[in-house]
């Protein structure tokens, strides 16, 4: 049995993403999916997140965020990063 490849990505979300439960939704779903990393609000009204997990788990996390009530993502940028082995997800 092969070990699944782990990815780490840095995301920046803009739109209606602050004050709508975005960080808590990210935290809950990251925990459920076994994703490590963090999420935080930015001064410009965007939300920044680093997430580490399998490609499938990262896709599932993004799907959960895009389908959240009151959340409206107008723009999402993603940048690949080197995995760090982080297993816990936290709100900063």
Cα separation, 24 vs 21, in Å, equals: 5
Task: Please count the other Cβ atoms lying within 10 Å of the Cβ belonging to residue 84.
Answer: 12
Radius of gyration of the chain (CA): 12
Among all residues, which ones are annotated catalytic?
Answer: 23, 41
């Amino acid at each position: 049995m092969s070990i699944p490849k782990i990815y780490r990505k840095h995301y920046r979300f803009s739109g209606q993403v602050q004050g709508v439960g975005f960080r808590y939704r990210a935290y809950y779903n990251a925990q459920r999916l076994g994703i490590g990393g963090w999420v935080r609000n930015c001064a410009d009204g965007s939300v920044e997140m680093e997430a580490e997990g399998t490609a499938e788990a990262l896709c599932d996390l993004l799907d959960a965020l895009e389908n959240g009530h009151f959340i409206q993502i107008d723009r999402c940028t993603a940048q690949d990063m080197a995995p760090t082995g982080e297993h816990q997800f936290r709100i900063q």
